Amino acid sequence: MLEVGYFYVPGAIKEPQDERPWFPMLVLAVDHRTGFIFGQEMVRPEELHEGLLDLLLDTLEELGQLPKEILVDSDDAEAVVLAAARRMKIKVRQVDYLEAMEDVRDSLNSYMDGMGI
């Protein structure tokens, strides 16, 4: 089972071409059972849907096999994932909480807190 989702990274980015800093979103594909991160991509909020779809397709290609089910925790993620998963006959289920995804988020937050970010 694969978890696909996203969350804001706790820290702003300001690139030279940006007038103001922006808060990136981390898009992830994580194994539900082991917590192994199969794919990740940092995107601007306005690139979220494209980032989710790209990550999903890249992850499925790298896996070399299709998962039986993909778990998501938001309407946005469900809409994007469903569009691709239906064609591949993969079940998509929206849940309240993605365990492995939350573990990744907690680890990232702890790391960034330790770095003073």
Q: pLDDT tens-digit profile of 22-48?
A: 899 999 999 999 999 999 999 999 999
CA–CA separation, 1 vs 101, rounded Å?
Answer: 13
Residue 37, SS3 per DSSP: strand
Write down the domain spans for the chain. 43-117
- CATH code assigned to 43-117: 3.30.2320
Tell me if 4 sits within 8 A of 74, measured CB to CB: no
In angstroms and rounded to an integer, the radius of gyration of the C-alpha atoms of the chain is 15
Which of 7, 29, 25 lies closest to 74, judged by CA?
Answer: 7
pLDDT band at residue 114 using 50, 70 and 90 as cut-offs: low
First to last CA, the chain: 33
Residue 54 corresponds to which tokens in the numbers above? 């790209």
Both tokens of 63, joined, read 């896996």
The predicted model scores a pTM of: 0.86
Quick: pLDDT tens for 47-75: 999 999 999 999 999 998 899 999 999 99
